[in-house]
Structure 1
């Protein structure tokens, strides 16, 4: 339970380690690990530090701590602009203002029910926004960040290797966040998502960067187009290919539109081919292959306010996505219902799971954008193979579950063969395509819990020896 006390984080702490601040006990710590070991759950933090880098470290430690990530954190001292975005501003000037901020946050925290159940970064973001009425999640530009524009708060909340943009988009799809103003648009690398790109012209024939502008001539006799200096011979002009003397423009030769020449292969052309080169992952691609990323400001939606208070997300009316795959909640509800029917009427039921086995290889070979499009296309084709009574669910980008009422061994064999055909058709010109591991289960009368049954299926998919590759 959260106390009314305050935690002060500072390089040096006073003797005794405690102060009286705004009518509350302020506990002082010079090490975050020591604070964690104390078991204190303060109503707010105050960071007192004159070193901006150290202040940033304190801020990130608080925001990455799932038990305290949404707490108020005030800064008294130096802080960088980027790190300031994940704090709650400078320490209020008056005791009254500080007390009002803490009391207002505590009052909203009391409305949160069951908040300890989900401490994922996405859930903590919703809680963070709920505790700060009118708070707006803003993108910031930072040349040191691979994406250039990013959301500092999302980066601070993310404790693992997941891309914060993925769960931000999921919150948008679930209707838990509302878009504000469009702050920026940028093109990003299709392989790693970086916005640090350089654009350069290359030869369209050999792709060399050794190209330059030259005056060119076109010999009417043999058709050669080449830089003018190659035609210069003595005091006149002579074609280096056929030896014709070029005396009269319009009769012997003319000046073509091709004014760029390659120093490597001598190819002459009008314009070079523009290539985008990523400074982070070293991949090159056409500008048309770059991702377009729109950077919005975000606010908590009405549904997001309910979810942040601990109410079920199942209140959302959306049961299916645009490809008619069920949400996880609806899938579990349907599975539970069919299990009950199976126990009372003895009907047959099959549960099939698919997990992508070569996701990293696909992304490395095709880039993130093409990889996502390929997986979406595969899921759409798979949905077309299912019967009207069948139900599918995309647990994540690389995992699908199918609920097949009445399916027998013959139907499962047919599905496995069709999956193999889909994989063959999805093979890309680069020689790579999605490889799906498949696991199946036929629930019996002992299976009564849909959540546990789905968890068992996911465990089978997680082990490469237990999930065979569809062929």
Structure 2
């Protein structure tokens, strides 16, 4: 038998949503009209009381004859009495609060509450908290969550995507998804809810295994966290959507302004204020801009308010109170294949033998190995990549003036700036003693030029210790497969472009 969750009616816009959520989660649900019905249900063996006071419309709360003058006092009293009934029955009470509410408001009033959940919350999280209060393992609720948090699942997913040649993971509209989108290309590999899919994809994007591109922006209900919002125009005075656009008339003689419907008497226009007949537009009267008329209270206004109504839970909100959510498409980066080959998502510490300790960059032997790997990967996926050779202008003159030790510090400073700017998939290495070779994965010619321009701008603000010398660079670019499909060919093309930049006048980029 499933545990029964008791829902107390009275603050009520979310009752149906919560009851449906409990039933979908394998929990029983019973709505109690008042605390007397609640106590009866507790005696019958219900497992937990859930009280939602997150969005009570206090202005419409009828407390006539209840002994209260302030609706807030009535809410606090209800929580306290509900908590007392739950305590006597030995059952936990869980209270859902509004985003601006305070737990202390109720605990200081003497209410004993097992757990508070504050808006906005994810429905899965609410179910998890309820199950925890009931002593039920949360693994039964979301078995995929435990698997999703392991790197092995993500590695297996990446292997499957690479094996099947899936490079892009795109969202499609799905009315069953809480945020209106899902990722069907993942469904054949993992059994996850849409929310958990996004958590997993965002985690891999944060590790530079995937790149993200904005696909859409949506508004989410702050109560139930669903996308099903209806936007409508309402009367700013009473909030009714029963409004009409009205054509207005301004009577010049007496100055009266009102909707045309109040002037019309058969085929004639009669001013309701002075009773004069209006014959000629522009002479007797004019028609100002269109206005609105509320059919409920007769209020006339020029601009209606906009109200957002959640179709899922019935909550009503100002658009500014909705939660903005970005929907992304994802694409595998060059690092995806690397982590699959390594068998781990996080890189191990770089072997010190691969690093040139003097300048803090890779040895060129490691660069050559990575270049061969990048050529293989880019050939398979038909992606371009860039290779850059760059050097410090007038480096030899600096060696003669300050000595080789300070000159190496010069090169190390350049290396540090490069490392601060590069992506995890980029590979910088010391090249021919005094230059730097860089591999920029999945980067076309324009991307290489843009990187070098940013690097030059950064170097304008870098000065070496004990000297006023500023660092300037010259660079040459080659691009796969435009300049070749072999490592030696690409290096030769980049070096030829580098020499051209140096011989042309320095502080230049040749491509």
TM-score, normalising length: structure 2:
0.32
User: Which TM-score applies when normalising by structure 1?
Assistant: 0.35
Which structure features the higher share of helix residues? 2
Q: Which has the larger radius of gyration?
A: 2
Q: Which has the higher contact order (CA 8 A, sep 6+)?
A: 1
